[in-house]
């Protein structure tokens, strides 16, 4: 693997919270067994914030629902009164677990204490909890533990270990307690966090994992103390990457961020069904079942777990649009679950235009999002395929493999039925002779296109350490210095004339984008120049939150098959909005 790729993937890893210690840790490997098999879990954000549900004193409060106390700067004295109104009489733990099970989810992570400091479980460490401070007087975590046990679902707890807006000495409440120098975090940590984590791991039976969150400026010693406490009390309980300082058992991606490439580490991404974690009565921006199914397959194809969130109401009901979508995902999982459970990452380090690939020891699962019609082609698979069939229904498929020694191109062609078995994701199974192995170089695809992803390029120039880095999606960020440039090596089997298209990313929710950058692209001595302008949106297959923009730069010629180098050198970069050149990829599209 080239240094550029290694560096890029390391940068992507750094961009993801946490990292694991190198080398094999037998205890950690054992803890991870069920989690690697599961691949798919339910996140539940439920707390006092479900009462205001995004509105405070008649005002709609922007942002995610569980942050309303912070976003509206609600004083503790006012917010804590919500506890006396919290009486989720419609809460039914078995009904919630049934929604998760029907969707094909294998574990549930529920907010035991979010940043607002309110414990959704009976706690002796703080009276600010659902049993002592509400008319409900029940412990829903106990009921959920029993329901999960009956259904064979792992129960896990989210716990906010640094932010606690109810406590003077914790992090985050700057409106009641503005002077951080007066805060004794260690006192808060020792008297509330440690005792409550101990309660969670003592009173609710076997727990699958503790999902710590927003470590902020917690010390490494305190992060380690939490990880050790969890593993002492329940050796098989996992610790999420957001415990801080890389001492978690696996990495946590940023919210709604899906890592890229064949990621060779254990990671998980939390994803919302709409735009909020905690219930908001006016947020109806629900993702379609098609997007959810494709995200699930995409995350699994990169070796990760997909933790999909529901935000129940103050009455204890999971909103109907959530239940309906999860049921649709469950119908797909009922047919295709073996292509998700226990799979590992694709053998290819880059994205493919038609969909994604998950892998088992002698199988590849081709998740085809865009059905090609009668013939499917795949380049770069070096392993022999013994058998191919549709996972839905088992229909056998004819496979033809060739290796062109002149261009060193491995091609595989499969004859398909005209119609896709599933509109969202049709799975083709390839049974291979041994562990599936692929070429790791960037290849021209069967449609003659070449995609050069930002995270697989090599950064050059600038002064000292490059500023450019790659976010959890592999998209370039902080590329504001035009002296920094990138290049890629790639392999072409069908030379000719290509249109050079730059794909850049808008900011989250598509609110903002920065164009006008001047760039030069050079391939085989051919140099073209152009400006990055918005020439249309490109569907971002794995995430509607981050729309992509296409900018045609011009035409280049590649005269012979084999390995070539493309260099992208900015002439100027607009960075008034601080986004800079948010490169997703450089695409070469064969001119007709």
To ligand JFZ, the closest distance from the beta carbon of 277 in angstroms equals 5
The set of residues, in sequence order, having a beta carbon less than 8 Å from that of 59 and lying 6+ positions away, is 72
Q: Which of 5, 15, 51, 64 binds ligand JFZ (CB under 6 A)?
A: 64
Q: Which is nearer to ligand JFZ, 44 or 388 (CB)?
A: 44
Q: Which is nearer to ligand JFZ, 473 or 590 (CB)?
A: 473
Q: Which is nearer to ligand JFZ, 114 or 367 (CB)?
A: 114
Q: Which residue has the tokens 């290694």?
A: 6
Q: Residue 196: helix, strand or coil by DSSP?
A: helix
To ligand JFZ, the closest distance from the beta carbon of 243 in angstroms equals 13
63 sits near ligand JFZ (criterion: CB under 6 A)? no
Q: Residue 563 pairs with which residues in a beta bridge? A: 491
- Span 67-86, contacts to ligand JFZ by CB under 6 A: 67
Q: Token pair of 528, please?
A: 């073209």
To ligand JFZ, the closest distance from the beta carbon of 57 in angstroms equals 22
Q: Which residue has the tokens 């205890």?
A: 27
Q: Pick the closest to residue 503 from 456, 457, 553 (CA basis).
A: 553
Q: How far apart are the first and last CA of the chain?
A: 33
Q: Which is nearer to ligand JFZ, 66 or 266 (CB)?
A: 66
17 sits near ligand JFZ (criterion: CB under 6 A)? yes
Q: Pick the closest to residue 166 from 60, 46, 47 (CA basis).
A: 47
To ligand JFZ, the closest distance from the beta carbon of 17 in angstroms equals 5
Q: Which residue has the CB atom at the shortest distance from ligand JFZ?
A: 254
- Span 199-228, contacts to ligand JFZ by CB under 6 A: 213-214
Q: Which is nearer to ligand JFZ, 211 or 376 (CB)?
A: 211
Q: Pick the closest to residue 366 from 385, 386, 391, 387 (CA basis).
A: 391
- Span 249-268, contacts to ligand JFZ by CB under 6 A: 254-255
Q: Which is nearer to ligand JFZ, 93 or 171 (CB)?
A: 171
Rounded CA-CA distance 557/555 in Å is 7
How many CB atoms sit inside 10 A of residue 446's CB? Answer: 20
Residue 256 to residues 16, 70, 425, Cα–Cα distance (Å): 12, 21, 20
Q: Which is nearer to ligand JFZ, 374 or 511 (CB)?
A: 511
To ligand JFZ, the closest distance from the beta carbon of 228 in angstroms equals 23
Number of residues this chain uses to bind ligand JFZ (CB under 6 A):
10
Are 24 and 91 in contact, with CB atoms under 8 Å apart?
A: no
Binding region for ligand JFZ (CB under 6 A) out of 63-71, 124-132, 145-153, 440-448:
63-71
Q: Which of 9, 12, 42, 66 binds ligand JFZ (CB under 6 A)?
A: 66
To ligand JFZ, the closest distance from the beta carbon of 157 in angstroms equals 13
Sheet holding 426-432, edge to edge: 355-360, 363-368, 426-432, 385-390
270 sits near ligand JFZ (criterion: CB under 6 A)? yes
Q: Which is nearer to ligand JFZ, 40 or 498 (CB)?
A: 40
Strand ranges for 469-541 from DSSP E: 469-470, 476-477, 484-492, 496-505, 518-523, 526-531, 537-538
- Quick one: 151 exposed, middle or buried, by C-beta within 10 A (0-12, 13-18, 19+)? middle
What does the per-residue mask of binding to ligand JFZ show for 281-300, with x meaning CB under 6 A? Answer: --------------------
Q: Residue 346: helix, strand or coil by DSSP?
A: coil
Q: Token pair of 179, please?
A: 């002077």
Contact residues toward ligand JFZ (CB under 6 A) are 17, 64, 66-67, 213-214, 254-255, 270, 277
């Amino acid at each position: 693997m080239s240094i550029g790729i290694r560096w890029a993937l390391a940068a992507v890893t750094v961009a993801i919270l946490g990292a694991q210690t190198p080398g094999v840790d037998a205890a950690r490997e054992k803890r991870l067994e069920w989690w690697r098999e599961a691949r798919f879990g339910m996140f539940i954000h439920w707390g006092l914030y479900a009462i205001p549900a995004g509105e405070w004193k008649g005002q709609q409060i922007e942002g995610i629902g569980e942050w309303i106390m912070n976003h509206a700067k609600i004083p503790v004295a006012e917010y804590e009164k919500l506890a006396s109104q919290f009486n989720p009489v419609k809460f039914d733990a078995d009904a919630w677990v049934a929604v998760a099970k029907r969707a094909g989810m294998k574990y549930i992570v529920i907010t035991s204490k979010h940043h607002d400091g309110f414990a959704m479980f009976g706690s002796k460490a703080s009276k600010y909890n659902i049993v002592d401070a509400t008319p409900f007087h029940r412990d829903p975590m106990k009921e959920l533990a029993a329901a999960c046990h009956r259904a064979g679902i792992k129960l896990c707890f989210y716990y906010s270990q640094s932010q606690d807006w109810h406590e003077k000495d914790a992090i985050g409440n700057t409106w009641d307690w503005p002077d951080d120098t007066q805060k004794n975090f260690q006192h808060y940590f020792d008297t509330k966090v440690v005792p409550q984590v101990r309660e969670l791991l003592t009173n609710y039976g076997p727990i699958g994992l503790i999902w710590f969150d927003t470590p902020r400026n917690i010390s490494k010693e305190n992060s380690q103390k939490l990880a050790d406490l969890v593993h002492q009390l329940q050796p098989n309980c996992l610790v999420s990457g957001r415990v801080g300082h890389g001492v978690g058992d696996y990495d946590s991606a940023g919210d709604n961020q899906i890592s890229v490439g064949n990621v060779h580490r254990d990671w998980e991404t939390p994803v919302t069904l709409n735009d909020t974690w905690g219930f908001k009565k006016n947020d109806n921006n629900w993702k379609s079942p098609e997007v959810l199914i494709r995200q699930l397959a995409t995350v699994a194809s990169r070796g990760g777990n997909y933790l999909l969130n529901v935000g129940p109401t103050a009455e204890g009901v999971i909103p109907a649009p959530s239940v309906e979508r999860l049921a649709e995902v469950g119908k797909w999982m009922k047919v295709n679950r073996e292509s998700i459970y226990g799979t590992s990452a694709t053998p290819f380090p880059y994205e493919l235009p038609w969909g994604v690939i998950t892998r088992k020891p002698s199988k590849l699962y081709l998740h085809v999002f865009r059905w090609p019609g009668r013939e499917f082609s795949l380049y770069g698979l070096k392993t022999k395929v013994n058998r191919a069939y549709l996972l839905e229904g088992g229909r056998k498929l004819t496979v033809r493999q060739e290796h062109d020694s002149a261009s060193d191109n491995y091609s595989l062609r499969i004859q398909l039925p005209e119609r896709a078995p599933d509109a969202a994701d049709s799975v083709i199974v390839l049974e291979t002779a041994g562990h599936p192995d692929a070429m790791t170089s960037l290849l021209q695809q069967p449609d003659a296109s070449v995609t050069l992803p930002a995270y697989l390029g090599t950064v050059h120039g600038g002064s000292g350490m490059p500023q450019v880095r790659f976010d959890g999606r592999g998209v370039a960020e902080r590329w504001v210095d035009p002296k920094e440039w990138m290049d890629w090596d790639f392999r072409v089997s069908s030379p000719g004339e290509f249109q050079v298209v730059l794909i850049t990313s808008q900011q989250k929710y598509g609110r903002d984008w920065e164009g006008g950058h001047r760039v030069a692209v050079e391939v085989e001595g051919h140099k073209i120049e152009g400006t990055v302008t918005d020439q249309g949106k490109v569907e971002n297959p794995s995430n509607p939150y981050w729309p992509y923009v296409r900018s045609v730069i011009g035409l280049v010629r590649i005269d012979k098959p084999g390995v070539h180098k493309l260099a992208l050198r900015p002439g100027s970069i607009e960075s008034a909005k601080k986004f800079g050149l948010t490169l997703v990829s450089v695409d070469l599209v064969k001119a007709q």
